[in-house]
Structure 1
Amino acid sequence: MAAQVDVLVVGAGPSGLALGVDLARRGVDALVVERADGLSPGSRGKGLQPRTLEVFHDLGVLDAIRAAGGTYPVGMVWRDGRRVGEYRMFDAPEATEGVPFDEPWMVPQWRTQEILLARLRELGGRVAFRREAVGLAQDGDGVTVYFADGTELRARYAVAADGGRSTVRRALGVGMVGEAVDPFPALVADVRITGLDRDNWHFFPGGEGAGGGEVAGGGEGGDRLMAICPLAGTEDFQLVARFPEGTAVDLSPDAVRDLVAARSHLRREDVNEVRWTSDFRPRAALADRFRAGRVLLVGDAAHVHSPAGGQGLNTGVQDVYNLGWKLGAVLRDGAPASLLDTYEEERRPIAAGVLRLSRSVHRGETRRGGATRQLGLGYRTSSLTEETRGNPGPVRAGDRAPDATVNGLRLFDAFRGPHWTLLTADADVARVYGAGVFLIRPDGYVGWAGETPEGLAEYVGRVGAEGAYRTLG
């Protein structure tokens, strides 16, 4: 049966929408399907790391993201109705020329999704709501996805972006191994509150007069912690509360008001509106595989994170940034289908490492800071990486390609788009990258580096990048 679309993306969360944007700008015929009536509500993953801001710059949504959010507020610890000390959420970054976005940016997840959806539609991409995938079958030519309404759709490739309880992953029979990060159930809610300033992230470590856990150095506090954070660009606050093990979390508005009154100096009536609630138990899990035939897993369908350190949404965006250009190369540029094997090769070890990091942050063993910004992640050991210099400089093949100004042009502006970029010997390049010639992948990592262009043509032919790069320097 002939394919009706090139790529079917199941799930319209941040990962699915970002992949839709990337594929649309590459001219790939893709459809994003979502079982719900619309985008999911709630602030959920509100922290966008610097590396994700760089991706959003490339995808053409950074200005909207910057306008919709703000910097992280300073934490304020309360006890018995008094402010007892500030709490810095992140270690101070080191601003450099190569890192234009040096600190996380806070945007409610619902707003990030709206921005990505608007960009997708601007590029001519499509999203179909109320399309619940319930099963699939695949062969050597494509994937057939079956929907709850009895219809089906044929695609050359399918991508599971349908969350931690992924229907697609289960239909594939791909296992996911995980563990609880801690035993305490938690509640997250978007609320409107009077009586708290919007300049601070407010922490109530143990409730009024209740004792309990402290806000540990980078950790998530005790089993009665409540935190209320202003959501930049909105009138809302995000409330997160933890409960003793075995507690049945009540998500009703009245229960949220009772909780605020019990654990802070605020009154029930100070909670003007409860706009959205959800419960969760922090866990970490990793899928056994990120690819099964013509189906690939991204985001929470591939890895589930503790919310500590803001890693889950960001890692999902990095997944699709890695996958999007490879699907485009195979489907539009004549690259070998084996290029898609490098998606799991590159992303699964990264996800495993980020899971270890988020667990460590959750338990207070690691501060939020350099590692959580995701700028140091790379692919030095990938089969797509070739470093041919005998004495590499500060930037090696496989590393993130830093920003710089070369002949008056900002590199991040030159990198924007679906192409590869060749940086030839230039004083400005050498100042940031070190001496050499560098071929930058479409996802902003150095694929090949050499002292001269010798050997570059062979690499370009191997990865299917002929005619797909521009030269600077």
Structure 2
Amino acid sequence: MNQTLDVLIAGAGPTGTTLAIDLLRRGLAVRIVDKAPHAFEGSRAKGLQPRTLEVFDDLGVLDDVLAGSSDYPRLGIHLGPVTVPWRMFRHRERTDDVPYPNTRLMPQYRTDSVLHDRLGQLGGRVEHGRELTGFAQDDTSVTATVLGDRGPERITARYLVGADGGAGAVRKHLGVGFLGETDDQDRMLIVDAVTTGLSRTRWHVWPGGKGRFVGACPLPHTDLFQWMIRLSPGEEPPAGEEAITRRIRAHTRNRAVAVHDIRWRSVFRPNIRLAETYRRGRVFLAGDAAHVHTPAGAQGLNTGIQDAHNLGWKLGQVLAGAGARLLDSYEAERLPIAAGVLGLSTKKYEGLAKLDPSSLRRGKDEQQLSLTYHGGPLAPAGTDRTTTLRAGDRAPDAGWAGSRLFDAYRGPHFTLVAYGPEAAAASDQLAWPAAGAPLRRLTTGEHGFRRSYGIVGDTLLLVRPDGYIGHIATRDFLESTRAAVRTMAPGVTG
């Protein structure tokens, strides 16, 4: 008889692999399957936002991500014989509370590779060429049928997560509606290719009439450009080096440009869709399986990674004995975020068609540092707060004991931070269960922490494993914190 897994994940892109990493480091039994015969080879989603960099720091992959990426180049907007320089992102210096303030550029195949390497370090592996074709669930488990070279296999798991993309099987098998629209007449050819006759110091854009444009972004640490060619309605997408070169030259009027050695090619249609629910029973949706975006603003991949970071610790806690209602908070927290991000990326994409310069500018909204779960089931309104933070907000970085708070937060644990003697005494008295995520207790009186967290007096803060504030107590330290912990941990009674 097959052993029952804790979690089966369908889809080994950034979302599914992030989830598998988080679950494996919690000691859970996990398998991750993907119907593709090998890892993804294209650049596709290439922007990594500051909040995602913080997730990568937590997962232990940030050094590899920084080594394989770069800051975004300036745009060069070609208007006939004139090239107008344009900075998409304002360069920001790191601060005590935001250590990674700038969006990074890295092709998706390299992001996948870094995450797959980390998965391997934890003893996991992606099972490529394995397609989930169906499943059934009951009150205790999900049994999926997975088809591979050796025929069908039945895999039983306590939970199933569909991270298998906008056309994936899990959402379709659940019968969950995918609300929104797809404009089949609005298509973009994306090509990764070696390119001659073009400077690598700029992200080149050639605007055109009726929103048609051609763009070429140099991919860092490679000799490749990602070409983006917005096609006319009814236009047959060119294929092959010569045809694509002719199409580019016809638009840019630059006879020196040529593409060679095409590594990847895809025709993209801007889907704008949101799943009507993120969960049915023991089956969850994450990433593009739950929400698909336009490419503008570099939001889709980042939102999916943060879906996984939100869901992972909750699955771990419930599998360890926490109340099952904790899993309801996944949709409650993440679906409104995706709805807002869809609106942002759609607005940016529509601006491109109108040649609106503001559509090329990126700011704090895209960086996802200010996203909050305040008012949700784990962060009800009306609880204690500091002068700058509420429960549900991102926990900022700060100096601590000659190091950083993010160093203390890194890992699959909760963190309890006490400022002041009353808060420290309550921290010492708080019982914590042996099952599930452990608790790390910190006591600090440092000015940098006080400034970053808006502290004015004794304060006890509980930081969740995903780096968001789970509770703030400025009075009634022990009892209010204990009540908050009951919603997130197994068997807290004393």
- 1:145 alignment partner in structure 2: 144
Deviations 1:302-356 (A, max 9, x none): 000000000000000000000011111112x321222111111110111111101
Residues in 1 aligned to 2:384 and 2:283: alpha-carbon distance in whole angstroms:
39
SS in 2 for 1:323: helix
Residues in 2 aligned to 1:183 and 1:190: alpha-carbon distance in whole angstroms:
23
Relative to structure 1, the CA distance from residue 146 to residue 327 in structure 2 (aligned partners, 3 Å threshold; closer, same or farther) is same
- Equivalent pair of 1:93/1:370 in contact (CA under 8 Å): no
Residues in 2 aligned to 1:309 and 1:391: alpha-carbon distance in whole angstroms:
32
- The runs of 4+ residues in structure 1 deviating greater than 6 Å are none
Q: Aligned-pair distance for 1:77? A: 1.5
Mean Cα deviation higher: 334-343 or 300-309: 334-343
- 2:426 alignment partner in structure 1: none
- 1:434 alignment partner in structure 2: 454
Residues in 1 aligned to 2:369 and 2:490: alpha-carbon distance in whole angstroms:
25
Q: Aligned-pair distance for 1:246? A: 2.8
Matches within 5 A, 1:137-176: 137-148=136-147, 149-176=151-178
- 2:488 alignment partner in structure 1: 463
Mean Cα deviation higher: 176-185 or 194-203: 176-185
Relative to structure 1, the CA distance from residue 268 to residue 58 in structure 2 (aligned partners, 3 Å threshold; closer, same or farther) is same
- 2:369 alignment partner in structure 1: 375
Q: Aligned-pair distance for 1:377? A: 0.4
Q: Aligned-pair distance for 1:274? A: 1.3
- 1:471 alignment partner in structure 2: none
Matches within 5 A, 1:83-232: 83-93=82-92, 95-148=94-147, 149-180=151-182, 183-206=185-208, 212=209, 222-223=211-212, 225-232=213-220
- 2:53 alignment partner in structure 1: 53
Counterpart of 1:117, as a letter, is H
Q: How many residues align?
A: 451
Residues in 2 aligned to 1:83 and 1:376: alpha-carbon distance in whole angstroms:
38
Residues in 1 aligned to 2:294 and 2:90: alpha-carbon distance in whole angstroms:
20
- Equivalent pair of 2:177/2:275 in contact (CA under 8 Å): yes
Residues in 1 aligned to 2:463 and 2:301: alpha-carbon distance in whole angstroms:
25
Counterpart of 1:299, as a letter, is G
Mean Cα deviation higher: 400-409 or 343-352: 400-409
Report whether the alignment pairs 1:305 with 2:293.
Answer: yes
Choose the corresponding residue for 2:468, options 419, 441, 445.
Answer: 445
- Equivalent pair of 1:388/1:449 in contact (CA under 8 Å): no
Choose the corresponding residue for 2:265, options 265, 277, 282.
Answer: 277
- Equivalent pair of 1:134/1:146 in contact (CA under 8 Å): yes
Matches within 5 A, 1:246-265: 246-265=234-253
Report whether the alignment pairs 1:421 with 2:379.
Answer: no
- Equivalent pair of 1:35/1:130 in contact (CA under 8 Å): yes
Relative to structure 1, the CA distance from residue 33 to residue 268 in structure 2 (aligned partners, 3 Å threshold; closer, same or farther) is farther
Residues in 2 aligned to 1:269 and 1:84: alpha-carbon distance in whole angstroms:
16
Q: CA RMSD in A?
A: 1.9
Deviations 1:245-284 (A, max 9, x none): 2323234433322222212244487312211100011121
Residues in 1 aligned to 2:418 and 2:491: alpha-carbon distance in whole angstroms:
17
Deviations 1:391-445 (A, max 9, x none): 6311111100000012323011100000011111134322111222210000000
Choose the corresponding residue for 2:391, options 379, 394, 397.
Answer: 397
Residues in 2 aligned to 1:20 and 1:287: alpha-carbon distance in whole angstroms:
22
Residues in 2 aligned to 1:376 and 1:228: alpha-carbon distance in whole angstroms:
30
Residues in 2 aligned to 1:236 and 1:439: alpha-carbon distance in whole angstroms:
45
Residues in 2 aligned to 1:269 and 1:361: alpha-carbon distance in whole angstroms:
28
Relative to structure 1, the CA distance from residue 431 to residue 91 in structure 2 (aligned partners, 3 Å threshold; closer, same or farther) is same
Report whether the alignment pairs 1:385 with 2:405.
Answer: no
SS in 2 for 1:196: coil
Residues in 2 aligned to 1:439 and 1:181: alpha-carbon distance in whole angstroms:
45
- Structure 1 gap ranges (5+): 207-211, 214-221, 468-473
Relative to structure 1, the CA distance from residue 427 to residue 361 in structure 2 (aligned partners, 3 Å threshold; closer, same or farther) is same
Q: Aligned-pair distance for 1:27? A: 0.7
Q: Aligned-pair distance for 1:48? A: 0.3
- Equivalent pair of 1:290/1:297 in contact (CA under 8 Å): yes
- Equivalent pair of 1:185/1:249 in contact (CA under 8 Å): no
Relative to structure 1, the CA distance from residue 128 to residue 268 in structure 2 (aligned partners, 3 Å threshold; closer, same or farther) is farther
Residues in 1 aligned to 2:385 and 2:115: alpha-carbon distance in whole angstroms:
41
Relative to structure 1, the CA distance from residue 269 to residue 101 in structure 2 (aligned partners, 3 Å threshold; closer, same or farther) is closer
Identity %: 46
Matches within 5 A, 1:2-13: 3-13=3-13
Residues in 1 aligned to 2:241 and 2:410: alpha-carbon distance in whole angstroms:
45
- 1:209 alignment partner in structure 2: none
- 2:441 alignment partner in structure 1: none
SS in 2 for 1:322: helix
